[in-house]
Structure 1
Amino acid sequence: MLKTLAVANYRSLLNLVIPLGQLNVITGANASGKSNLYKALRLLSETAQGGVVNALAKEGGLNSTFWAGPEKISARMRSGEVPVQGGPRQKRSRLRLGFADEDFGYSIALGLPEDGASAFSLDPEIKRECIWSGDYYRAVKNLVDRDCPMIKIRHKNSWKVVAKHTATFDSLFDHIADPANTPEVSVLKDRIRGWRFYDHFRTDTEAPARLPQLGTRTPVLHHDGRDLAAAIQTIREIGNPQALDEAISDAFPGATLEVLSHGDGRFELQLNQHGLLRPLSTAELSDGTLRYLLWAAALLTPRPPSLMVLNEPETSLHPDLLPALARLIIRAAEQTQVWVVSHATRLIAALEKAEFCHSIALEKELGQTRMAGLGMLDEPMWEWPDGGV
């Protein structure tokens, strides 16, 4: 389970360090920084999949993601005694992302090339990466250290260089794959790659979930929901079919969900509703009903990840469905760490009834995102490694 998330110099997240729990509910007004926090976590997930540089390119390049305010916001600026103003930068611009879980911590610092010799001079470079043991970074706890092109690992009481010419766009996860000598790299890579994000279920008239699809065993629903029927059937065979039936009945009293298997290997869903003389196919369901079925398939997965992130799950759902969705999310959070980014007060209120719910309310001050109510004594200990040359 992630215990701490840290982000620095990313859009409105100038320097945000927040504690995390089993079920995390991210709330806040529009433009408070919820989307930026979500995107920062997605960027972190790309480090273990070789896509962090490309992901930043899709956001408009590294320069466009940097904090746009002054390098430091003084107390006098906060009080309004002096206007918000900047000056010459004292430090190189670095985008920093990091986290700590129950065993290890990880951080990455990205910056722009120092020279313009390449045509790819706007491509971000990985300047520093570290993996350490424990909750927060200390040099004596460091296990793997990447400083620009050089990667070294702790070997007994000294350091051993394992790579001298690492490509600036490759993470250390792409270069170290030795479970015997660097088990922490393998463990963290597997954990990060297992993070699951759901933020774009398709429910339009052409959505694959509305049409019969070839089905194979599907313990993990695709992020767009294309294999919904196969995922539901997989839950029935190797998951928790009772929980599935309860989730359907909770949202649609008297309803039952069936999976039809066509002779050619295609699967199709049908929803039997109380009072109707025939079942409804997924092509006939409303966007909200179909979306709820998608959430049921995602949250009741027979293969829970270490982290599941749900971005605005209330989209297209009628308010009356939100308590049932909350109960589904709470059930899932008993087996895996869950993030929920939401605007829906009814969903938030239902989730906050769970004893292990950790509410993270974001607010903005002078353009900077902060966690409301987080005092100096509440903030987790965190220190960034030096950012490399």
Structure 2
Amino acid sequence: MKWRETMGNIELKTWNDFTFLGNMKSNPSGSAYAYVRSTVDLAKDGYSHNIFVKTQEKDFQLTGFNKESSYIWLDDETILFTSSRDKEENALPSTDFFEISVHGGEGVKRFSLPLFVTRIDILEGGKFLISAISDVSHPNAHAYDDGKRGEVAKSIKEMSFVEELHEIPFVSNGSGSSDSKRNRLYLFEESSKKLTPLTSAHFQVMSIEVSEDKQQIFYTGVMFKDVAKLYNHVYKLDVNSLRSTKLTKGNKMRYGAIKLLEGKLVVMANDGKRIGLNQNSDVYLLDVNSGNLELWFKNDRSFYNSVGSDVRLLGSSTMQVYGDTLYCVITTCYHNQLLALRLHQEPEVVLSAGSIDGMAQLDGKLHLIALEDQKLQEIYEVNERKLIQLTKLNE
């Protein structure tokens, strides 16, 4: 049944009954994946988020505190997730991490970081790569003791009625105020609780990719004060020495998403000369040792999902590597296509769909969160260039 036939006329309360899907990720072996279901919570004027796990045998709920929307797989059977339990209002940001087995049981608190964490990646030897929001006015806030944190939080609260603008731009689409804020990288050593900044206070980190052996971190970003720059660079960080090297030199380019594919760094980038900020990226291969940048193929489509919709809530990665293939979502005209990229081969269009909002792999099969055939979000399996609907959460 199509959405209109199922739901009838659209009313204000119609959105209260939607189930939003997002943050879809496979476990390391591809034998299961997790995703988040979100629903409206009218009493709290917000949303409830819980993590679900899908295997070949079942699709089951893993968490139930209604606050779990961000997570990573630690291994095939364990998930590390964040939750805003027992948070004190008006305090400086902190993020609590809980560990839970997919076989059941309670989520157990593993550690807490004095940062607003946006991403976490597993490294070796009990280390984690942390991406977090940092304020250039307090670049060492992660090292403040409780007394100092309390003083700063009190000062921020007292000045909350006024907004001082120091930079251009000072607002980010979909994220609110970005003035004096940077996405910054840190190394966290769990045994010692040591937190080490890897990028400077004024450096804005954008895309991140960790090598398979966990020894190298690749990231794009730019250093700026007062006015953001139009161009950025690609960097390589050695996990052992903690030294960063700029891989792209002298190129005035806007580097976007990056993904490792069989030892090469696939880079979406453009020079902005033809259209400017909204120019679609071409696809390049970057040699991670020499820094040599080679055009793979030119492109006139956007390498992200730009299909407009009011029935999405959480994001999900729409660019993933499985085996020797990089799968990308591109937008063409009014719909999405799933593109398969393999080295030394022409790009292959795997399928066309209305809107592809996330992807994961389950036992060699691609599963997608998608909007298709005028329906709300559901999970589908890709089978011979067609979508097979697996869920009926919004019917």
TM-score, length of structure 2 as denominator length: 0.30
More contact order relative to length (CA 8 Å, sep ≥ 6): 1
Compare the two structures and name the one with the higher strand fraction: 2
TM-score, length of structure 1 as denominator length: 0.30
Compare the two structures and name the one with the higher helix fraction: 1
